[in-house]
A and B are shown apart, each in its own frame.
Chain A
Amino acid sequence: MKITKINNRNLSFAEKIYLSEIVKGMIVTARHFFANLFHPSRIITVQYPEKKIPLSEAARFRTRHRLKKRKNGDAKCVACYMCQTACPADCIDIEAGEKEESIAEKYPVKFEIDLSRCVMCGFCVEACPEDAIAMDTLIIPGGAESRQELKLSLESLLLDSAETSERGAVNRRISAMSMQNAERKLKNAK
């Protein structure tokens, strides 16, 4: 392997004593402070987690799981354990039951996803032979006050359509932010 040595530029005297650099930094801070003070609508940060930026519709992120339903309202899941088998974080816990009258004789009595263990890899979605699990709710799981809150039960996974309609909320701010970041990076590179 070839080793490249990088000789950092020596600091000048003004830079070495830091004073001028501190002043430069304070000017930037002060500029933002006054800009935000007089034009609060232009603030680009939000008070997370009280406020959250809705994700863009085009976003193809893997977000919180949901279980799909059949037309009659039953879960599409047949408790085949493929997702539990594929899960590298061992966060899915299923218990199967038997139903006489439904389309498939097997159904999940318990379907629990432990979000505190989940690594959002999407293997469960890949493994599902029934297309019953999806990660398209656009809800990004965050913190919780107790570990129990991070365990998704079967009921909470079977979100109804009203809850899944969260997707589609377009957020220009987030795209604008990413544009600004990209521009800044380009400038720095030059």
Chain B
Amino acid sequence: MPRITIDGKIIEAEKGETILKAAERNGIYIPRFCYHPALKISGTCRMCVVEIEKFPKLMTSCSTEVSEGMVIRTDSERVRKARKQILEFLLLNHPLDCPICDQAGECFLQNYYMDWGLYKSRFPLKDKMKKRKRFDAGKHLILDNERCVLCTRCVRFTREITGTNEISVLERGDKSYIEVDEGGINNPYSLNIADICPVGAFTSKDFRFRQRSWFLKRTESICLGCATLCPVEIHHNKGKIYRIVPSQKEHRWLCDEGRLTYHKMDRELRTAIINGNAADLPVALKKGGAIITSSLKDSSVALAGSPYLSIEDNASLAFLAQKLLEISDYTFDFVFKQEIEDGISINSDKTPNSRFLRGFARKHGMKMTELNSKLEKGKFGVFICERKTLLQFFPRIDEKTTVISFAFEPPWKTPFKNEIIFPIPSYFQKEGSFMDFKGKIKKTTPCFPASSKNISEYLREMVGGGNKANKEEEQEFITKLLSEL
């Protein structure tokens, strides 16, 4: 354990640790462009230089390992001067794009200039190096070579993380630039490049010009795109989500598909749908209620849980099936193969909660095969299910069966003859617990209030047996279940 001194503070560093990491752990921030905690060290930007006693030159803190008795100064006059001059070099050919650049507000160049630059430009505008501006660099990315500071973060990302090698640096000196392969960057993690780019060279086509970064409110939540349940930060403003980025606390590479899942909020379902036509909620509730009560008489009501719903919602469905509907034909038995195939973060299981249901189905409801065979016989009058899961049952559901489903985005094509769809809030609007593929419980945080009711509220209103299954009991059931997990 080498003892080092940074800015007069004695620090116990770990063996083989770099100065930058040791300083960051102790709350001393050293500016950087090329250093990224998840990528290999390259030491190209020289922004992180620090003064070390007995070293004749300034050293890059991102690549220098600590050794016993080092005395490091990160804020001396010499370091400040060096930073200022490095910034001047980096900004020499940088265009005056800040008003139209998406990175403005979270740009390393802007922030460092305000902290350590503040010099007057000595370079005339007309002499600036002209490079290729704003061109397509793949399905989700746009590249502006003039803004690039050649930190090579993107190059290292495609080499080390995705292994696709689409980006490289060509030419030398002030002529050097980032070159993208002919096909563009089309790997499933391409939007991470827009995130790790410290300046506005790589920008996301999806987020481009839609909102300024300083207006965005940040909510920590999880991505429900697959069973990995990556921790994310949802950026939203005035009831609209603008982008999803990986959480700052726990860095993980977030796939493009997961980042774009928020687009379903643009298509949010607000009315009920009866047989493909929009209908008022009270009308649909009345119709659904009549069908359920008549089917309950000859006990021909079936219900299925959903791996797309949270633990709370599945639990309340099970509770209501037992206590309110008093049926036995319900299932929570969903099994999917769960594995991260590419070794980064995309899971082969696209449902967020099937790991939980695997355990839950053992105690509650019947087996999936049992329900399927009963469905094929066509003995059910009503089938209640979440809309996305419902399609799994589609070919087995009889024409006479009325399907009551719940969805947060409108399914415009319906394969069912008799169908009532109720709008439910998505997990951007309400809290929900999920179990990831490793068995860890994670929670979503609502960004803004829900505009529609929950499944249990709809079922209660339709069946109307409030005395049979009271809400406190349901809540108790859910909290007990969550505490057991």
Contact = CB atoms under 8 A, between A and B. Distances in A.
Interface of A: 78-82, 85, 96-98, 104-106, 129-130
A79 B101 CA distance: 10
In the A-B complex, the 7 residue pairs with the smallest Cβ-Cβ separation, listed nearest first, are A80-B99, A106-B100, A96-B209, A81-B212, A78-B100, A129-B99, A78-B99
- Name B's interface SS: loop
A109 to B, nearest CB: 9
A105 B100 contact: yes
A133 to B, nearest CB: 12
B119 interface: no
A129 B214 CA distance: 17
Contacts of A96: 209-210
B215 interface: yes
Given A78-B99, A81-B215, A85-B215, 5 more contacts: A79-B209, A80-B104, A98-B208, A98-B209, A106-B100
Interface of B: 98-100, 104, 134, 208-210, 212, 214-215
- Name A's interface SS: loop
28 contacts: A78-B99, A79-B100, A79-B209, A80-B98, A80-B99, A80-B100, A80-B104, A80-B212, A81-B212, A81-B215, A82-B99, A85-B212, A85-B214, A85-B215, A96-B209, A96-B210, A97-B209, A98-B208, A98-B209, A104-B100, A105-B100, A105-B134, A106-B99, A106-B100, A106-B209, A129-B98, A129-B99, A130-B99
Nearest to A100: B134
B110 to A, nearest CB: 13
Contacts of B208: 98
Contacts of B104: 80
Nearest to B214: A85
A123 to B, nearest CB: 16
Contacts of A98: 208-209
A35 B212 CA distance: 62
A81 B214 CA distance: 10
A81 B211 CA distance: 9
Contacts of A104: 99-100
Contacts of B215: 81, 85
A131 to B, nearest CB: 11
Contacts of B99: 78, 80, 82, 104, 106, 129-130
B392 to A, nearest CB: 40
A26 B104 CA distance: 67
Contacts of A78: 99-100
Nearest to A82: B99
A85 B212 CA distance: 9
